Each structure stands twice: as C-alpha cells, then as structure tokens.
Amino acid sequence: MNLREYDYYNELANWSFDNINCTEEILTNWSYEEEIKKHINEASKVLDLGTAAGEELLGNFPNCAEILGTDFSEEMIKSANQNLIKSGRKNITFRVMDNLKMDTPDNYFDLVTARHTKIDPVQIYKTLKQGGYLIVRGVDKLDCWELKYLLKKGQGYNDIKPISLIDYENILKAGFKNVELVPLHIREYYKTKDDLIALLLKTPILTNFSEMVESQDLELDILDKYINSHKTDKGILLIRRYYGIIATK
C-alpha cells in the first residue's frame, strides 16, 4: 500500500454506499456473506482484514465468541468504532493494523476474512488455527473493463496477471489446502449519472477520478460517451468482475 493509496482511504473515512441509487443482478451462485455464515459458530474467533468503517462486518457477520476488524486507516477505524456504538453489537473490536504487517497471535483465529483488500497469505496462515478458513472477495482486472478501456486507465488496468490469480497462487504457496477460486459476475444499474459518479468518487475503479471532476478534465467527455451507450430501462449499466476464494489451513 503506497502513500497515495493511504491518503485516499484515510480521507474517505466512510465506506457507506447508502446514498447511491443502484440495483444489481448477481449472475454467479456464490455469496461472500453466505460463505462466512457457513463457517461461523458461537465459539468462533474471527479476524476481518481491511474492515474499512465496519459496515460489512456489523451488517452481515453473525454473532460469535469474538470478532476483530482491522484497517490501516486510523480515520476508517474511528468511523468503525462510531458505527459499532450505534449497532449495539457485542464481542466486536476494531483497531488499526496493516494487512501486510500483521501482529495478531499465531494459531488463534477460526476464520479470517478479507474483502477488497490486499493480503499476505503467509501471515494469515500463521494466525489461523489448524483447520481454520480463509475467505476472500476481491476486485479483478476485468472489473468495469469497458469503462477502463475507454479511459485507458483504472484499477488493475496495466496488470500483467489478474489479482485473482496472484492471490490464488500465493494462497497455495503459503500452505493452504482445498483452495477454491470462483469468478463472480454482477450487473449493476445506476439510476443517474450522479449515482455513477458517486460510486467512482468512493472507490479506486478509475485512477485519480476525483481530480478529473475537480479539473473538469476532458476524460469526463469519455465518461459521458460510456453513460450514453450503456443506458437501459433499469439504469446505467456497469459490469462488475469480482472473485471469491475459500481455503483451509
């Protein structure tokens, strides 16, 4: 994680998409949230990496013995603790930690989860109990590809190897077994141009998108062309490409 990325997420400090008017069609029979529920029981100890402001954890993780949510951004963790108070949930704590410099105890957690964040499978392997699970949901190279291709830039645009394959190979190298990689396909429909722009401002799909908006960059004309060619009765279509991984220690 470089300094520019750190500043981006630290300034964002909130990961809520509640004000964005969007509907989705899930085309793959695999759900990150449902997989987590399958692997948690009342005695489970869970580590959630890259927890951001905790919305996913607080909204979708079942109750269990212990859940620790971590993020490298102090501002995100501040927001997560505020959200925790509002939720009234117990046995959950949040703290600042870099995923690539983990300081959690060895052989401690029953489940480690990571959603849209960088991971080090070797460190995750160490902190998991024998028989514990790793569940990952990530953003792949071809996510929003038509939009990235038009602008000739974006998250993963210049990657030689997709991050899904890199994660899969690194998880295998770390010693995990029963490693399953699942491509995830979703169609999202944004009601208005403002809704789509709100998404692009909150995520790193397009490199430096906030600077494009502030400067009224000519690239916004290309964005308009994309929007005009992807209008449907359901809204402005954005094709998403994610991946899921489940592995066992």
Could you give the dihedral angle defined by the CA atoms of residues 49, 50, 52 and 57, in that order, rounded to the nearest 10 degrees? -30
**102 contacts: CB under 8 Å, gap ≥ 6:** 120, 123, 124, 126, 127
Q: Domains of the chain, with CATH numbers?
A: 3-141+156-185+241-248 (3.40.50.150)
Length of the chain: 249
For residue 12, what pLDDT is reported? 47
pLDDT tops 60 at residue 152: yes
> Cβ(245)–Cβ(179) under 8 Å?
yes
Could you tell me the maximum CA-CA distance found in the chain, to the nearest angstrom? 55
Other Cβ atoms closer than 10 A to 115? 22
Across the range 55-65, mean pLDDT stands at 94
* pLDDT for the residue 19: 83
What are the pLDDT digits (tens) for 67-84? 999 999 998 999 999 999
Q: Is the pLDDT of residue 13 over 50?
A: no
Give the gyration radius of the chain's Cα atoms: 18
Element of type H or E holding 193: helix 193-202
| Stronger pLDDT, 74 or 5, i.e. the higher one | 74
pTM: 0.89
Residue type, 114: A
What pLDDT score was predicted for residue 198?
Answer: 86
Q: Which pair of structure tokens corresponds to residue 34?
A: 């449902």
Q: Tokens 């944004």 belong to which residue?
A: 190
| Interatomic CA distance for residues 192 and 103, integer angstroms | 44
